Structures are given as structure tokens and as C-alpha cells.
Structure 1
């Protein structure tokens, strides 16, 4: 009997020795607690990471302190009850990746997995924990986050030069996907705006003051465009060319919804004029003279894409609709008004009666063969002026019709009526003078 007991102990010892040799050879750190929660074994890799081996006679609630376990990035000791090896003593299979071990001046982040080991009777005999140094992984993760952040910042910077909406219309996710010749045809509203008499204004300023003025002015105009689903295609000195293609949802929808590009553009133009009024108040307080702008809007199909060469290209839009918008803007000087739209834009407004609009003329724009009807939008006028224009609108528009028909006398009377109500009406004055000119010629 004694011999059998001896051989049994020898076999048990040999099994434990082979198991210990196996655990020592593993490239992963291994630690073992006995059933009472005291350290029982630590392999070579564990001793390297922990800076020590088995510390006998310590209690489970001392493990975090003895082995310097902390919550990652803090000076808070890791809660003992949350350590995977301690949880394994409770019969759990647990893991954690928010532990760091401090050995001298070294800080080692680890990932750990704990598992219970049962005896033949189903009782927990040991708790084993496998853990590894994840310093390299954390470094790579940090580099990846940093790289992603840099890419995000670069994309944000690019959006200042190439608007996100421009890329979206080309079905591109980033500027890196854009190639020379990429283009798409789409119906859009085009807005041109320009500062009146900018050349003479700029001659009174130094180049540095010119830049400051332009940037302060444009920074006021841009939000009015962006807030109405538009984006600025380009700045041309003091001029702005903006495009309206509808909201993001409209562009990505598979169903054909209402086309709101005309309304967006007109609302943006109205907002620009209102913002200019506030901007001018600031200029006057600072001792500068106020500025005036003209805005022209047209709606139609255009080609949006990239032009240039392989080493230098630019995003642009090409269409007769674009040229017409620029021509309409130039007409604002002739009539002395701030905002003009074409009949194409007028016809696409969801509810033209929602705006303060009156027809101004039917003209043949320079460089164009077709006649174009032009409308003034005067929602942004001061309320008193707006009401006077609304009050005289019916007679004003009848005067326009009679003028076109050559009835100079009756047209003149109608415009004269308008001027009595609102003497500063530049358009009524324009037509009244022309009526008088024709009447003098006919006598």
C-alpha cells in the first residue's frame, strides 16, 4: 500500500512538473491562484511583465496593490473584485483590457483572461489568468486615431476649397476620388452677387485693407448661402458665385421630390441683403461708407465637373444658365435694385405669392438671342418701402405692359402715380423718363 501511494505521488509530481514546463514555455504570461486566492504560480513571461514572481501569503484583496495593477491612464488601483483572475475564483470566465502594470518607471498596459480550474469533484481548485503586454497594440491604436484625425482635418481643410456638396454631386466621397473630366448634368439655381463700384472703393484702400474688407464682407455673406442649402462655387474678387442643388436628403433620395433650388436661392439672396444692412451699420459706426450689392439668380441645367490639366485642375460649372445669371446680376445696376431673378427661377418657385415680387422688364440680355423676363424680389427692402412697392405693384406692372405696347402716355401716368407713393422708386423713375423721352420724340 505504501508503495502504491509513493508511485501515485511520483506520477502526480511528474504531471505537475510537465505542466509547469509547458506553462513556462508559453509566449503568453500565465499566473495561477490557489483555491484560497493566494498566488501559486507565475511563468517566465509573467515574471518579466510583473517584475516579480509569486509573492506568498498575500490575500486576494492585496493582489492589485502588490502587483501594481491600475486602471489605464489613472492613478486608481484596479478594483480587486474586477480582476479577471479573482473573478475566475467565483467561477466566471472573464477578461479585461483596461489594466496597466507599473514596474519602476515603466507602465505596461495588459489584456488579461481569467478562467476557473475544477478538481475531480467539481470544486474550484485554481484560477488561471493569461495576460499579455499590449503596448505595441496601444501605440498602433493611438497612431491610427492620430492618422484618422489628421485625415479628418485634411478633409475639413479641403472642404474650404472644394465644397462637400460639389463632391456629393459628383458621387465622390473625398477629393482623392476626383479625376479630371468628372462631370454631371443637373438642374440647379445659380446666384451671382457683386459689390457696386468696388473698383473705386478699393482704390481708396491699401492692398492689406482690401483683403481685410473682402474677407469681412464674404464671411457675412457665406452663412446666408449655406443656411439655404447652397454652396459657394467660387469667389471672383468681390463677386460670389453660388449654386443651389437642393438639400442633402433631396440629392440622395431615390424618389423624385419637390425641386426647391429656386426657393433656396431666392431666400438666400433675400438673407444676403438683410445681412448686408446689418454689416453696413457696423461699417458706418466705424466711420466707413456703406456698400451696395447686386444679386442675379437664374435656374436651369448645367454641367458641373472638373476642368484643367493633369497637374492643375479646378471644379467649375459650365452652362448658358450660368452665363445668364451673371448677365442678370449686371442688370441690377441699370435698374437700381438689389435682387433680380429670371422667369425660369420665377416659374420654379413653389409659391411666388409668398414673396414680394414684381416684373421689371423683358429684355434681350447682352450675348443672348432670346428674350428674358426679369423680376425684382424686394422682400429685403425696409418694411415701409416694401409696403409702398406692394401698394403700387398692380399699376406698376400695368405700366410695364403699356410701355412694351408703346402706349407712352398712359404708361407715364401710371409710373407717375407710383412715384407719388414712393418717389425713390428707381425702376418707376427709369420707365417714367423713358416714357417722357418717347412722348417728346412723337410730338
Structure 2
């Protein structure tokens, strides 16, 4: 850091040397002592020092100098460095020069020549001390001015903040007043601070001064819902919020005379920027309408429950009726007609589609029934039918009607379903017969005929009495096939229409036995016997002679009766109980 500079100016070198020596003795190394011969040299020196960042604190100048006198020099110095102190040192100065120096250069002191060393020493030190004090004062003034500016800015900001705070408080109050629910605020000490208009309507009063936390339930008449007891203060949501807890409650009531107002309350604490709890605020919702709605809803639920119970009873009754009706009119029949309920069925409803028809009948039932009482007859028939029905439904069929001991069943979809159902019926019959034999009864024999074709399903009758029916030549042919089972002592016969619609006929044991002409039709219908439901020994015997029988039939229908008779004789040699071979052998004998 550069030392402060003291400059001595005179036009005589001896005087300058003398001044420099005395000042160095007096000031030591704290200051840099510079000299200049004349005013112009002094000005150049000052400008150089200032340019090099030296601080020129004092200029001691003679008055009488060539070219530039002392008072003029000091005036120029003041213009260059206003803070530099000036001392005029001369023996010939007049009052005008001193006055000019004081006026234009702020002259610090005037000293006469020759000077007294002690006087010079004291004057210079006083000047330097004065400079230092003025410098400090200037710095302090600058700092004070800067602080005043900062303070002024802070005051402006504070005023703006206060104005904004007042505006925010006003807006907050307007907002709280505009809320559709009651709002109440406690300060940190638990005293009421703010209550909006809605809350005043609920409480019947506003802020009650000097109310303590312990007095809240009493002052504002807060009760526990449903009982005539004051609400415990420590459980009030807003009091819990004063402890830093967010709380909700819907079991409060406000009593205003005879008027009771149920409330739902939400409360939460409010903190300042430092995390200190300063308020607790809660909202108050009048839930009178909700309570009334809940009461009405509960009543409605009870009524609905009762209605539902009655409806369940009605549905159970309807279900029982539907199940009862289903036993008389199969749901499958209704489904084919496009109806879900028997109620929807009208006289004349009908639909046409391809189906397989199954007829079954008990052989010699008339003779059998004559040995039983009416009660035994019905018991026997129901025992038999209860075993046949499941075999039909298990293969996607349904029973259209019972005709005494006979069954008429329908199958939509694949013809295999009807054939498999017939085989299953024969298997069920075998088990049933074993039980009958074990019980001392004679076994039963049944015949089953199946045909596939286009049917008309519909309803016939009149409005007060109707029935379901199936109309088609296909039905008549199925019935005819069932009747043929008696002639040929076969268990299950199918038409070539059914055979043609089987997915894989090779899965079954089938043989051709007849060509039948149906009434009203010009073409004969081929009849096939399905052997899968026969007893094993009977089935094996028929399969062993199948090719011979079918060759005989081919020859018979070609009217080669002798050759046909030979084939039928071959069959009877192996299986003398084959009724089909017996019939055709007799027919050939009649033709020979």
C-alpha cells in the first residue's frame, strides 16, 4: 500500500531541503516527503502521484514564486484534489493573496517566514490529524449515507409488505366469509380469533372475548350427538388441532334453544415460516339434511329389504311354477320356438328345423299291465321312465311327450346324439332288468326307432287349452321303425337318413335289414339295425353273419331268391335265433 504524500513547493532549493529535513524528523517513515521547484513542477508531480494511486494529504507552498504564485497554485491543487490540505508559507504575502487562498483553495493555515521549527512541526501534525479526522468523517458520512439509503429501501419494502399484508388479510377475510361452510379460528393460546358469518349462524354468536379453551363447549353450546351431554373439550377437533393434529368428527351438535344442529367438523393446525403453531382452524358443515337423508335411506333400505324378501319368495314360487311347467313342457321345446317362458307361448307358434326323432316302446306292455293294479301300473311306468329320461338328456335330447309307456324324444344337432341316447337307454334297461330278475320280476324288452329329417315344431289348440306337437313324415317314419323292431325282434333301428348324418358310422356296429316304403312316398327307405345295445353274445353272432345276411338281402331284392335263400340259411346255421334271417328265408321259400 502506498504511503500518504506531503509535498513542499518553493523556488529556492535550500528552503526545500530545510523543509524536507524538518518534516522527515517530525513525521518519520509514515509519510513520503516530496519537493517541487515552482508551481508548475508541483502540479506535474501531483498529477503523477494521483495517477499512481498516491494520496496527497498536504501541500506546503511558498507564495512568491515565478510564473505561478502560491495562491494560484493552491487553487489549482484544490481543483485537482479537493481533500488535500494546504499551508501557505511566505514572508511577503499580502492579505489579498491569503484571502484568495482561503476562498478558492480552502487554505488550512498561513505561516510566515522564517518559521519556527516547533511551530512548523505542530502545524503540520495538526493538519495531518485534521486530514485523518476529515477522512474518517467522510468515510463515516459515506457509510451513514449508504445505510440511510438501505434503511430507506427497507422502509419502503416494509411499507409495501405491510400494505400487502393488510390486503391479504382483507382478502382472506373476504374468502372465509364467502365460504359456504362455517369457519372458526383459535389463536395459539386457544382463544377465539375469527368466526365467519356461516359459523355465527350455526353458533348463534360470533367471537366471545376472553373465552378460554376450557370454556368452548359451554360458551358455544357444543354437545355430543344423540345425548344431552357437553362435548369433551379435549376431544374437540379444533382443540386437537392446537396440539398439531388434523382431526375430523361428525358426532357434534350445537344447541340453540329448541333447535339442534348436527355438525361435521374438519380441523387442522396452522404454522408460521419457522414451524411454530400460530392458529388452529376448523370448518363446520351443517349436516341436518344429510342426517335426515341417512334416516330416510335407512328406512328405504329396510323397506327395500322387506320388498326383496317378498320378491325372493315370489321368485321362489315362480321358480317352482316354472320347474313344474318344465315337467310338462320342456324348456328345450320353448327354446326352439324362440321363447324363454311358457307365458310367452301363443297358439300357432311354430318353427321348422332338422332334428332326429326317437320313439321307444315296451314290448307286450298290455299283457304286463293287466297283471298289475292301476297304482302298480303307474309305479312301474314311472320307475322305468325315470331310468330312460336321463339317458336322453345326457345326449342333448329332450322328451317331447310320454304316450303311456312309450317315449317320443327330439334331438337337434348331430344325429349321433340320438343313436348314442338309444344305446344308453338299452344299457340302462339291462341294469334295470337285472334288478327286476333279482326281485323276481320278468325282464323287459323295448324297441327303439330313430329317424332324422325336417320337422315342424309348434303349438296347437285354442286360447284356453293348447299343447305342443311335432308334425312331419320324419316323425311317422321314426314311429314306423319302432314298430318294425317287434317284427324283427331288434332293439334299435335307424333309417338311412340318420345313418347318412352320423359323423363316423364305422364307430357303430350296424347292419342293413330292410327297405320300407312309407305311405305317400315313392322311394323306399333303407332300415339299419344298430347292434351296440344288444347283449354281447347276440351282437357277436349277428356281426359274424353280417356279410352273409347283407349279401342275401342284395340277392333277394335282385330277385335271385334261390341264391338269397342259401345266404340266409348260412346265417341261420350259425345263429338260428336271428329273426331277420328267419323272415327273409321264409320269404324266399314263398317265391320258389
After TM superposition, the score normalised by the length of structure 2 is 0.54
Report what 2:508 is aligned to. 355
Deviation at 1:175, TM superposition (A): 1.1
2:343 to 176, 185, 190: 176
Report what 1:275 is aligned to. 428
| TM alignment of 1:218-297, pairs within 5 A | 218-246=385-413, 260=414, 262-297=415-450
Report what 1:76 is aligned to. none
Distance 2:233 2:538 in 1: 89
Greater C-alpha radius of gyration: 2
1:432 aligns with 2:581: no
User: Structure 1 residues 12, 191: CA separation in 2 closer, same or farther (over 3 Å shift)?
Assistant: closer
1:395 to 548, 568, 592: 548
User: Structure 1 residues 288, 227: CA separation in 2 closer, same or farther (over 3 Å shift)?
Assistant: same
Report what 1:338 is aligned to. 491
- Which secondary structure does the structure 1 equivalent of 2:589 belong to? helix
- Which secondary structure does the structure 2 equivalent of 1:341 belong to? strand
1:162 aligns with 2:329: yes
User: Structure 1 residues 405, 7: CA separation in 2 closer, same or farther (over 3 Å shift)?
Assistant: closer
Report what 1:138 is aligned to. 305
Q: Which runs of 5+ in 2 are unaligned?
A: 1-190, 206-216, 236-245, 251-262, 271-279
1:382 aligns with 2:535: yes
| TM alignment of 1:11-22, pairs within 5 A | 14-17=200-203
Report what 1:209 is aligned to. 376
Deviation at 1:177, TM superposition (A): 1.1
User: Structure 1 residues 345, 136: CA separation in 2 closer, same or farther (over 3 Å shift)?
Assistant: same
1:266-307 Cα distance to aligned partner (Å, 9 max, x none)? 111111111111111111111111111111111111110111
Verify the 8 A CA contact 2:199 2:284 in the aligned structure 1: no
Distance 1:187 1:92 in 2: 72
Distance 1:223 1:187 in 2: 23
Distance 2:567 2:318 in 1: 63
Deviation at 1:165, TM superposition (A): 0.9
Verify the 8 A CA contact 1:388 1:421 in the aligned structure 2: yes
1:302-341 Cα distance to aligned partner (Å, 9 max, x none)? 1101110010011111111111111111111111101111
Deviation at 1:435, TM superposition (A): 2.2
After TM superposition, the score normalised by the length of structure 1 is 0.71
1:117 to 248, 266, 272: 266
User: Structure 1 residues 115, 263: CA separation in 2 closer, same or farther (over 3 Å shift)?
Assistant: farther
User: Structure 1 residues 197, 6: CA separation in 2 closer, same or farther (over 3 Å shift)?
Assistant: closer
Distance 1:157 1:91 in 2: 58
Q: Which runs of 5+ in 1 are unaligned?
A: 20-33, 61-88, 94-113, 247-259
1:327-385 Cα distance to aligned partner (Å, 9 max, x none)? 11111111110111111111111111111111111122456554111110111112232
User: Structure 1 residues 55, 147: CA separation in 2 closer, same or farther (over 3 Å shift)?
Assistant: farther
Distance 1:265 1:191 in 2: 7
Verify the 8 A CA contact 1:225 1:242 in the aligned structure 2: yes
Distance 2:336 2:512 in 1: 33
1:317 to 470, 483, 486: 470
Deviation at 1:205, TM superposition (A): 0.5
User: Structure 1 residues 391, 54: CA separation in 2 closer, same or farther (over 3 Å shift)?
Assistant: farther
Deviation at 1:55, TM superposition (A): 8.8
User: Structure 1 residues 349, 54: CA separation in 2 closer, same or farther (over 3 Å shift)?
Assistant: farther
Distance 2:376 2:474 in 1: 35
Report what 2:127 is aligned to. none
- Which secondary structure does the structure 2 equivalent of 1:372 belong to? strand
357-366 vs 118-127, which moves further: 118-127
When the two chains are superposed, the root-mean-square deviation of aligned CA atoms in Å is 3.3
User: Structure 1 residues 141, 119: CA separation in 2 closer, same or farther (over 3 Å shift)?
Assistant: farther
Distance 1:357 1:286 in 2: 34
- Which secondary structure does the structure 1 equivalent of 2:353 belong to? strand
Structure with more relative contact order (C-alpha pairs < 8 Å, separation 6 or more): 1
**Equivalenced residues, count:** 347
Verify the 8 A CA contact 2:247 2:267 in the aligned structure 1: no
- Which secondary structure does the structure 1 equivalent of 2:545 belong to? helix
